[in-house]
Structure 1
Amino acid sequence: MRIPYAPTEPANPTPENQAIYERIRERRNPRPLIPLDLALLHNPEIADGYSKLMGAIRTRSSLSLALAELAICYIAVLNDATYEWTAHAPLALKAGAKREALEAVLEGEVTNMDVLSEDERMVLAFTEQSTKSVKVDDELFEKIKARFSDQEVMELTITIAGYNMVSRFLVALNVTESNGKKMEMPQ
């Protein structure tokens, strides 16, 4: 990493900081703190807010988890965020994404009608436009609105925005020294 990781225990062990570390550990349970946490914990308040937001995006959304994970994986591909890909590709498969769909995402073949469903292609197009140009064109947005509820549209949008934040953080700081490593399909 381009800066040292924060310690696994608070450098300033105030009750507030101890509580933040504990909340983040609880969210990761049964795993220990991950390198991303240790990068963020240079500022426990920011780490706490990040953890709460991303935890809600991952676990409190009504959007199909398989679609959300495909979007997250495509963000990783678009932003060359190998660590994000490595973390989320297995989660996409576990959530029910087809291996062929995930392979298409890895190869950037997100319009492949033989492999990807219409919903997957729409979500990936939305992900690409939001990630690369920030703006989503009206025609695509109307298709998304016609297919998904207002809540799901919001959840898709915040998922894409949130994981773009994550990928930019991971790449800029080279968390886990993954920059430049090849993205590979999980076993």
Structure 2
Amino acid sequence: MPRSEWSEEVRELLDPRSEGGPVLNLYATLARHPVFYRPRAVQSAYIRLGATLTPRAREILILRIGWLCGSEYEWSQHVRVARRIGMSDDEIRRIAVGADAPGWDPLEAALIRATDELHRDDTISNRTWQELSDDYGIPELIDVVITVAGYRMVSIALNSLGIQLEPDRPRFPDVAR
């Protein structure tokens, strides 16, 4: 939606995100439904800024669920975030390969398995829950579930609404699904 078509309500939602430049296609699309946009923005802010997980753990979860959902848009946006927090391109690519890729520590492998299980089964197995519990308390365990569930919802919306990648964004790695 071009800026010239923004209502005052949409302008209030998107101006802070634009910082004078273009608004990501995701935000421009979701702002067409302001009643949804506001609470989703609060949830997203919690996951990004208030959750108990480290930025690295958060990005492993988000990238993995984006990959599993086939949401190249979600993957693309969070590749950029992962790079900013110091993850290498090899580590990012290994997220697509999965928990059995060499190089993951036990917690990181458990995070990837938890994401796979939530995507496939809508629950985390007892074994994976126990592995996560070796490092995490209840708040972190809840944040694992909330992060994967929240970004699964966004990935489904991105795919269903046909939101297109902005130019020059990272694409999915060439890894077998």
**Aligned residue in 2 for 1:101:** 91
- After superposition, the Cα gap between the structure-2 partners of 1:145 and 1:173, relative to the gap in structure 1 and judged at 3 Å, is same
- TM normalised by structure 2 equals 0.84
Task: Say if 1:126 and 1:140, in contact at 8 Å, map to a contact too.
Answer: yes
CA distance in 2: counterparts of 1:24 and 1:147, whole angstroms:
38
Task: Say if 2:30 and 2:37, in contact at 8 Å, map to a contact too.
Answer: yes
Across the aligned residues of Structure 1 and Structure 2, the Cα RMSD in angstroms comes to: 2.4
Percent identical among aligned pairs is 19
- Describe how 1:89-128 pairs up with structure 2 within 5 A: 89-106=79-96, 108-112=97-101, 114-128=102-116
CA distance in 1: counterparts of 2:21 and 2:48, whole angstroms:
16
Q: What are structure 2's unaligned runs of at least 5 residues?
A: none
CA distance in 2: counterparts of 1:28 and 1:153, whole angstroms:
33
Count of aligned pairs: 171
1:154 aligns to 2:138 (yes or no): no
TM-superposed deviation, 1:28: 5.5
CA distance in 2: counterparts of 1:133 and 1:56, whole angstroms:
25
The partner residue of 2:133 within 111, 132, 145 is 145
The partner residue of 1:36 within 8, 26, 44 is 26
- TM normalised by structure 1 equals 0.80
1:83 aligns to 2:73 (yes or no): yes
The list of structure 1 runs, each at least 4 consecutive aligned residues, that deviate by more than 6 angstroms after superposition, is none
Q: What are structure 1's unaligned runs of at least 5 residues?
A: 1-5
TM-superposed deviation, 1:33: 2.5
Task: Say if 2:55 and 2:85, in contact at 8 Å, map to a contact too.
Answer: yes
